[in-house]
Amino acid sequence: MSSSGYELDEAQLRVIGELERLGDRRRGVYLHGPVGRGKSFLADAFFDVLPVRRKRRVHFHSFFQELHARISSRLHEPGAVKKAVDELIGRCDVLAFDEFHLHDVGDAMLMTRLLETLKQRKVMIIATSNYPPDGLLPNPLYHDHFLPGIALVKELMDTVELTGATDYRHLHGRPRSRFETGEIVTAAEPPAAPLVLQINGRDITSLGTEQNRIWFHFGDLCEKPTSTPDYLVLADRYDDWVITAVPRLETCDREAQQRFANVVDVLVDRDVRLTLVSDHPLHEIVGGDSLDLARTASRLELINTTG
């Protein structure tokens, strides 16, 4: 693919061979591996060449936001979950999930129902993830709840691992997106007037807004009970975010770490500019060996202009 400006590495070439074989069999694919190895790129290419007209590609966060909204609008009806799933899937023959990962037990149970429906309809599934199937819903308190879902993942998709030595997100160049124009700084002056926003029925405190820019204190955004659907709503309203007082995440509890990781996921997906204000360099902010923080570190490296 060098003529398109891409030079595929050995690991990617191996995976392409496996994807070609599975595509010929019309078999689902669960493509997983470390961050930044090109999973989404390869899965998108695989999706695009499948000779099927009725296919849909979704980002996992956005899909579940829409699923929750549709279920909520049908709570007065019997079979609300099934009807919402039916509406979302439509008549597609191929459904592709980018960044498949589960940390919420409710989402995991819904995912099991969704996989059952896709199996009944013989829908081909393509998914990318940083987790192998057995690593989904990793919290040991809840992991057993998704064992039926893991069994369906393995039944409906062949697991393909993409390894490789290079994290391509660490290769700096000219910014290719709005997110990549962000930065990590040690000081910034927020607006004078704090603002309380009503988002999805809850109050979220902002340090203030300036046109399309919104400011948050890390504690208000990640240490209070906010959620991914909240971030999606806010990202649709504001395309420039500043988060102040960002600590070393290893000093935060698991919930705050996960919320921060989800914020970064959403802002990358929505291509929102992000500025982090912190006394710590990136390697101290996201130190540790959590898979989610590894993904977050990789993404934040795109705006880490100080190296």
- Give residue-wise pLDDT tens across range 203-257: 999 999 988 899 999 999 999 999 888 998 899 899 999 999 999 998 999 889 9
pLDDT per residue over 257-273, tens digit each?
Answer: 989 988 998 898 888 99
Task: Give residue 48's Cα distance to chain centre.
Answer: 20
Closest by CA to 118, choosing from 75, 157, 145, is 157
DSSP string across 71-100: HHHTTTSTTHHHHHHHHHHTT-SEEEEES-
Calculate the alpha carbon distances from 108 to 101, 103, 259 in Å: 9, 8, 17
Which residue type, as a one-letter code, is found at position 268? V
Predicted pLDDT at 24 = 61
Number of H helices, E strands in the chain: 11, 12
Residues 6+ apart with CB under 8 A from 32: 39, 128, 129, 130, 131, 132, 133, 159, 160, 161, 162
Task: Give residue 89's Cα distance to chain centre.
Answer: 19
Look at the block and give the residue holding tokens 């691992």. Answer: 161
Are the CB atoms for 130 and 296 separated by under 8 Å? Answer: no
The three-state secondary structure class of 210 is: strand
Closest by CA to 95, choosing from 48, 41, 55, is 55
Predicted pLDDT at 3 = 39
**Going from the N-terminus, what domains does the chain have, and what CATH number goes with each?**
2-161 (3.40.50.300), 172-303 (3.40.50)
Backbone angles phi, psi at 95, to 5 degrees: -125, 125
Torsion sign (Cα): 173, 179, 181, 183: negative
Cα–Cα distance for residue pair 207/145, rounded to 1 Å: 39
User: Pairing relation of β-strands 202-206 and 208-210?
Assistant: unpaired
- Which tokens in the block code for residue 19? 């994807």
Regions in the chain scoring below 70 on pLDDT: 1-9, 11, 22-25, 35-37, 164-176, 288-292, 305-307
Please state at what angle helix 60-73 crosses helix 105-121, rounded to 10 degrees: 90
pTM: 0.63
Cα–Cα distance for residue pair 188/185, rounded to 1 Å: 7
Predicted pLDDT at 171 = 54
Predicted pLDDT at 25 = 64
Cα–Cα distance for residue pair 111/153, rounded to 1 Å: 10
- Which tokens in the block code for residue 256? 């705050």
Across-strand partners of 57? 96
- Which tokens in the block code for residue 236? 């649709």
Cα–Cα distance for residue pair 189/180, rounded to 1 Å: 21
Predicted pLDDT at 9 = 66
